[in-house]
């Protein structure tokens, strides 16, 4: 998971705004420089037009040619403000940030996404397919209408397996239960979504004996490693662990890593949450 | 004209090319922002506070957004002074701005121990003494809340270094001016006013505090009126320079602090809103002064503060 | 189901049909809002504070907007207790909600004098003692900032009335829980937590303070995290009920205070945003409790506050 | 100056948004009930769509049939938020509030308006003209382009005398200087604008020996008389003075009246500012 240096603040022009489902907005903008350097699993910080709030961490959904996009679920003051943006408006974003997924040579990849996590896995799916890997998307949501942009992943060439909590579409239950029932074992699991889903994914991956990379979410402030507000306990032996003295805290083998800087993608096997 | 405007500031021996410091704990060591901010355009970075022993910090969540502000409870996560000296400090040499170490502790001894080791390094140009972190059990705060303890810590740090010592005060007290006087008498070269205001938020779905540490420190525009008043009152009580901070996001905000009596300002939370803010404020200050035909930022310090004790410090170094 | 939910609250002898008071100084005598708010849907109005002598109040500007909040420095303008008893109090009889008098003063005598006369009137159902107004010279605040003075004032008021006495505390102190304990021991029936946070704003064009009084009191959403923490800490220190206030604008905000340990809440600044807010909050509380199958608001008080001293007060009057 | 009882909170639909000059917005909305009870010189409180701020006091510019409108100058956070409203959006307003102008039987009325004050005098001008009075508008602004909606007043039948600080249109100087030079003395002066302009108007009116009614501006919070934040010193003998004990403050003959409740319109002769 190589580290970022290409991050810049970009003033971008909104090209298109689409409401994919009630309260789910897809905003694409003209950002050639950002698009050209973004790697799968990276995110950006969207600067609030009105100030007085921290920037909002959002996955980079699409990045192709002149165009990049974000997809967000309106849930609080910042996304409510971003919701007001429309084609022609300008927005400032800092990115790309964080270390993304690495597909390596995997020939069969299972991508697990839940809720807002879907916004952080499209680039990864495209990369897998481009590398000729079989790519299955295990996609979970509360209900059918929140399985946004599902067809997009099919068009890209994914096998899409859906699960809904209320059974209104696909598998009735959690997406990780669907994953646990796969017949052909994938070589690699990539996941992004709420932490209960990620914990379950880690468990299933361990049972299947498949390595998993998890993209974590936490409340961010700076998004660039400056405030240590977004940490997760990590094995001190992890290559991603920040440097910390040996034997500290009675030789504790755990250290808190910054999700925004050392992550957001971590190896499930190295998390100590 | 705009180019010739003097924005330099002096805190004891520390000379700043610009009156803008980046708040401790908000800006890492500067490196984290280097790829999109020209650090040569800021006065200096106050490093994340360091303690004698390594600290894992508080459980998450460590951050909560609040109206026009945020709560944080990081809990001083840091590798401890020995490891810090070996692995981190040497990197600071490359910063194109001033680097100010921040010292935190749980006893007068701790403060003196960490301060001495940190001050001994050339990469560190000055020290800030954080006696006001609200997020480490109650001990942390009590230093800044007790005039005697404040004096003891400041004296101990003063005794181990000749470099500029900035003492960071807490707003969570009945009379901040009294604490400020103690700090000055104990040998502080400058005062940082203010640290965060204690607060908390509750998760109304889960029926528990939203921060892993239960309580946290409130920062951002929400606390600006509290910070401006604190600077205004401290500036009437002491003659040493003040680094004003608390919710500074625009040049107008910054000007409120200078006019109240601050010699320099510190920008923390605003960097989370837009990392370009510190440079914008410097440009804005130049334009503001130029438009009024004022040559030096020094000439407007305390101008909205009748009975501004602090004024006399400028006689010496005009122009 | 929603209809049968119990939202009543008790503050000493004072029984409220709804747990919502309108903050002193923000709601006049209620009359001002009557034409667009159904006062029968609120718990009660806390009247503007009254003093022994008439007061013209502070020079204007008395108000400044700040991020997610506002500063005020009204300066207790009022016609004085005698004139108030003759001309104003009788009008309060017609209010379809509880009416709580607010007493302010500059000496223990003042408080006792005004409290006795006010409490003697049937139109007044309870008293709030404002020992924490930050906008009347320094004297005003010192009562709430000094445990001994707080106790003296509260005892004096307690001695002149059997009606519920609510003591309003200031957040501008190092340890609000200590002051709260003194107020309880001196005979307070309930505590109002918190009054405004001291602050100021500066006019960067005119180079002077924006308030005629220089300093003022900060209110609104900006101070909510400070207020929630104050309620949380006071609720662990005393067993009398708390009226939580400071930036309450939505039902979620209100719930933070109840979960922290408040028995009732007070709404001030939010009435300047939208006068429908108090009634919306009552409806929101009903829906929130109904959705969770909770029959009485009492059952969630302090539920986010481990070691909530206050809890025991409810044993007595369940259901 | 009769007192208000008709005030209500109205949820209104925005019908039209027009930018009369850079940063000057005219917003009209569907509000039959409000329009039917509004009197000249009254104002409303515009409730901020996003909360967290006090409502904004704005004069009621037009009130006719189903339609009412406001005109505001974008100068801070609240007007910046209102600026985002457009046709079809809903807005909540409390009003009509305050006591307006009373034209009585005046046959020759001079209306003095400066800056945002123009928004509070159109209804008064219409009333004067409807009553058959000669109606002159003395209209001042910093520069020509800020003399917004000037033609509207001409169409209504006013004689419009303009003044600009920079001389870019009409009289070069303050509008009150233009007023001082009138040949035919009006019977009544009505004025709304920044307080320096109002003070100057009071002085000129006294010199001319003409009664003047001034609509004052101050920072408001509640706008309905509940907070005592918006006061102005008034003669205790004024019919508008709030009740206050005799002999208070060594028999001071002054008492602070609430601009939002006792005003916003006061007799110049009774102000003690
Ligand atoms: C690396 C990363 C990538 C992300 N990518 C995306 C993405 O692509 N798309 C996306 O939609 N999101 C994404 N997120 C999540 C997004 O950043 C957050 O949802 C963000 O907080 C939204 O900000 P807000 O101000 O709108 O909501 P906030 O105000 O931050 O609220 C966030 C949540 O907290 C809840 N909340 C607020 N107050 C309370 C209270 N008192 N009690 C209980 N609950 C409360 C709200 O209901 C809401 O669900 C990402 C996060 C990270 C860290
Ligand atoms: C009865 C009445 C009627 C009114 N009618 C109208 C009307 O019809 N149209 C209209 O446009 N306005 C009208 N106003 C004025 C309007 O209510 C105010 O302009 C209102 O404050 C705008 O709110 P805001 O948040 O946009 O600006 P605010 O944030 O309230 O700012 C108002 C002014 O203060 C200045 N300011 C803010 N901070 C500082 C600082 N730190 N230093 C120096 N200056 C500062 C701003 O530049 C701005 O000029 C009326 C006012 C009253 C009382
Ligand atoms: C996330 C965060 C971490 C902080 N950590 C420290 C710290 O380690 N030491 C310290 O002295 N102040 C710390 N502070 C306080 C800031 O340096 C600053 O004094 C305060 O936030 C007020 O300024 P602001 O509103 O511009 O952020 C921290 C603030 C934030 C928001
Ligand atoms: C304009 C204004 C006037 C106030 N006057 C008084 C007062 O006379 N007496 C008092 O005890 N509190 C007074 N307060 C404080 C409020 O009652 C309340 O305690 C405080 O504003 C916090 O609550 P809020 O954020 O909901 O307004 C006043 C507040 C405001 C905004
Ligand atoms: S959000 Fe600041 S370090 Fe991660
Ligand atoms: S604005 Fe509240 S009384 Fe006038």
Q: How far apart are CA A91 and CA A88, in angstroms?
A: 10
C60 phi and psi, to 5 degrees?
-85, 160
Q: How far apart are CA C315 and CA D12, in angstroms?
A: 48
Q: What is the pLDDT of residues C134-189, one digit of tens each?
A: 666 544 457 888 889 999 999 999 999 999 999 999 999 999 999 999 999 999 99
Closest CA to A240 of A222, A219, A221, A225: A225
Cis peptide bond upstream of B194, omega within 30: yes
SS3 category, C177: helix
Q: How far apart are CA D273 and CA D268, in angstroms?
A: 10
Provide the pLDDT for residue C135.
Answer: 62
- Identify the closest residue of chain A to B28 by CA–CA distance: A226
Provide the pLDDT for residue C1.
Answer: 61
Is residue C274 pLDDT above 60, yes or no? yes
Cα angle C260-C266-C268, degrees, rounded to a multiple of 5: 125
B26 is catalytic: no
Is residue A91 pLDDT above 80, yes or no? yes
Closest CA to C168 of C19, C316, C313, C23: C23
Question: CA C26, C28, C34, C35 torsion: positive or negative?
Answer: negative
Pocket test for ligand 2, best of C210, C216, C220 (most atoms within 8 A of CB): C210
Q: Is there an atom of ligand 5 within 6 Å of A228 CB?
A: yes
Question: CA D141, D145, D148, D149 torsion: positive or negative?
Answer: positive
**Token representation of residue A214:** 């998890």
The ranges of chain D with pLDDT < 50 are 1-4
Q: How far apart are CA B252 and CA B4, in angstroms?
A: 21
Nearest CA to ligand 2 atom 20: D56
- How crowded is residue B74: how many other Cβ atoms within 10 Å of its Cβ? 27
* Look-up of token digits 């017609």: C94
Q: What is the pLDDT of residues B27-77, one digit of tens each?
A: 999 999 999 999 999 999 999 999 999 999 999 999 999 999 999 999 999
Ligand nearest to the CA of D224: 6
Q: How far apart are CA A9 and CA A3, in angstroms?
A: 17
Q: How far apart are CA B141 and CA D85, in angstroms?
A: 46
Q: Which residues of C198-224 are buried (b: 16+ CB within 10 A; e: fewer)?
A: bbbbbbbeeeebbbebbbbbbbbbbbb
D42 to chain C, any CB pair closer than 8 A? The answer is: no
D244 to chain C, any CB pair closer than 8 A? The answer is: yes
Ligand 1 atom having least distance to the Cα of A53: 25
Provide the pLDDT for residue C136.
Answer: 61
Query: Residues C7, C19: contact at Cβ < 8 Å?
Result: yes
Residue to substitute from C70, C202, C230, interface B, most B β-carbons within 10 A: C202
Beta-ladder partners of A95:
A8
Q: What is the pLDDT of residues B174-228, one digit of tens each?
A: 999 999 999 999 999 999 999 999 999 999 999 999 999 999 999 999 999 999 9
Ligand 1 atom having least distance to the Cα of A72: 11
Give the minimum alpha-carbon distance from B66 to chain C in angstroms, rounded to a whole number: 8
Distance (Å) from CA D76 to ligand 2 centroid: 7
Average pLDDT score, chain B: 92
Distance (Å) from CA D4 to ligand 2 centroid: 24
Q: Please compute the mean of the pLDDT values over residues B115-142 and round it to a whole number.
A: 82
Average pLDDT score, chain A: 93
D245 phi and psi, to 5 degrees?
-65, 145
Query: Residues C168, C128: contact at Cβ < 8 Å?
Result: yes
Is residue C317 pLDDT above 60, yes or no? no
Residues 268-307 of B with CB under 8 A from A: 269, 271-276
Provide the pLDDT for residue B310.
Answer: 52
Provide the pLDDT for residue B134.
Answer: 67
User: Which residues does chain B have within 8 Å of residue A94's beta carbon, measured at their own beta carbons?
Assistant: 36, 275
**B252 vs C204, C224, C247: nearest CB:** C204
- Identify the closest residue of chain D to C224 by CA–CA distance: D52
Three-state SS for A205-248 is: HHHHCCCEEEECCCCCCCCCCCCCCCEEEEECCCCCCCCCCCCH
**D231 vs C26, C57, C220: nearest CB:** C57
Residue A6: band (very low, low, confident or very high) from pLDDT cuts 50, 70, 90? confident
| Cβ–Cβ gap C65/D54 under 8 Å | yes
Question: Chain D: which residues have CB within 8 Å of chain A?
Answer: 50, 77, 80, 84
Ligand nearest to the CA of B103: 3
Residue A249: band (very low, low, confident or very high) from pLDDT cuts 50, 70, 90? low
Q: What is the pLDDT of residues D37-72, one digit of tens each?
A: 999 999 999 999 989 999 999 999 999 999 999 999
Query: Residues B230, B77: contact at Cβ < 8 Å?
Result: no
Share of chain B above pLDDT 90, in %: 86
Which of these is catalytic: C26, C97, C133, C145?
A: C133
Provide the pLDDT for residue D249.
Answer: 67
Q: How far apart are CA C80 and CA C118, in angstroms?
A: 11
Question: How much is the ipTM here?
Answer: 0.95
Residue to substitute from B46, B63, B82, B249, interface A, most A β-carbons within 10 A: B63
Q: How far apart are CA B4 and CA B295, in angstroms?
A: 8
Q: What is the pLDDT of residues A255-268, one digit of tens each?
A: 999 999 999 999 99
Give the minimum alpha-carbon distance from D84 to chain A in angstroms, rounded to a whole number: 9
Residue C309: band (very low, low, confident or very high) from pLDDT cuts 50, 70, 90? low
Q: DSSP class of residue B132?
A: -
Nearest CA to ligand 4 atom 3: C25
Q: Please compute the mean of the pLDDT values over residues C240-259 and round it to a whole number.
A: 98
Q: What is the pLDDT of residues C41-95, one digit of tens each?
A: 999 999 999 999 999 999 999 999 999 999 999 999 999 999 999 999 999 988 9
């Amino acid at each position: 998971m190589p580290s970022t240096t290409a991050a810049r603040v970009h003033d971008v022009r909104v090209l298109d705004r689409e409401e994919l489902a009630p309260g789910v907005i897809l905003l694409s903008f003209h950002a050639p420089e950002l698009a050209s350097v973004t790697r799968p699993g990276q995110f950006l910080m969207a600067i609030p037009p009105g100030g007085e709030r921290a920037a909002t961490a959002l996955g980079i959904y699409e990045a192709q040619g002149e165009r990049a996009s974000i997809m967000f679920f309106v849930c609080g003051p910042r996304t409510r403000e971003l919701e007001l943006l429309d084609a022609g408006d300008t927005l400032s974003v800092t990115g790309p940030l964080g270390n993304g997924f690495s597909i390596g040579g995997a020939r069969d990849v299972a991508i697990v996404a839940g809720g807002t996590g879907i916004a952080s896995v499209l680039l990864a799916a495209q990369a897998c397919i481009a590398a000729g890997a079989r790519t299955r998307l295990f996609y979970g949501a509360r209900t059918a209408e929140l399985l946004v942009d599902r067809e997009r992943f099919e068009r890209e060439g994914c096998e899409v397996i859906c699960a809904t909590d209320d059974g209104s579409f696909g598998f009735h239950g959690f997406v990780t239960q669907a994953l646990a029932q796969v017949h052909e074992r994938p070589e690699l699991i990539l996941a992004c979504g709420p932490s209960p889903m990620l914990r379950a994914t880690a468990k299933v991956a361990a049972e299947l004996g498949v390595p998993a990379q998890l993209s974590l979410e936490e409340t961010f402030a700076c998004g660039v490693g400056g405030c240590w507000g977004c940490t997760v306990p990590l094995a001190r032996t992890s290559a991603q662990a920040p440097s910390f003295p040996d034997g500290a805290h009675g030789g504790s083998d755990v250290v808190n890593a910054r999700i925004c800087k050392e992550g957001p993608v971590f190896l499930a096997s190295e998390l100590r949450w | 004209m705009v180019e010739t405007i003097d924005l330099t500031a002096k805190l004891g021996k520390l000379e700043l090319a610009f009156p803008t410091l980046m708040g401790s704990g908000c800006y890492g060591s500067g490196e984290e922002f280097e790829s999109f901010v020209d650090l040569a355009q800021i006065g200096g970075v106050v490093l994340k506070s360091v303690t004698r022993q390594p600290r894992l910090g508080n459980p998450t969540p460590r951050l909560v957004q609040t109206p026009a502000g945020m709560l944080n409870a990081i809990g001083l996560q840091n590798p401890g002074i020995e490891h810090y000296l070996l692995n981190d400090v040497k990197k600071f040499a490359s910063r194109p701005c001033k680097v100010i170490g921040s010292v935190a502790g749980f006893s007068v001894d701790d403060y003196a121990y960490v301060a001495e080791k940190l001050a001994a390094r050339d990469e560190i140009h000055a020290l800030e003494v954080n006696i006001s972190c609200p997020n480490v059990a109650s001990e942390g705060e009590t230093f800044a809340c007790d005039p005697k303890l404040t004096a003891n810590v400041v004296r101990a740090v003063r005794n181990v270094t000749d470099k500029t010592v900035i003492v960071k005060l807490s707003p969570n007290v009945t009379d901040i001016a009294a604490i400020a006087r103690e700090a000055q008498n104990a040998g502080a070269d400058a005062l940082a006013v203010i640290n965060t205001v204690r607060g908390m938020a509750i998760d109304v779905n889960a029926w528990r505090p939203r921060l892993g540490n239960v309580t946290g420190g409130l920062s951002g525009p929400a606390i600006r009126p509290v910070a401006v008043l604190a600077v205004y009152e401290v500036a009437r009580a002491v003659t040493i320079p003040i680094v004003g901070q608390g919710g500074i996001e625009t040049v107008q905000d910054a000007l409120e602090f200078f006019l109240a009596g601050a010699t320099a300002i510190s920008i923390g939370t605003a960097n989370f809103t837009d990392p370009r803010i510190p440079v914008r404020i410097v440009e804005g200050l130049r334009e503001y002064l130029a438009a009024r035909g004022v040559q030096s930022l020094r000439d407007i310090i305390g101008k909205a503060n009748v009975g501004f004790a602090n004024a006399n410090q400028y006689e010496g170094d005009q122009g």
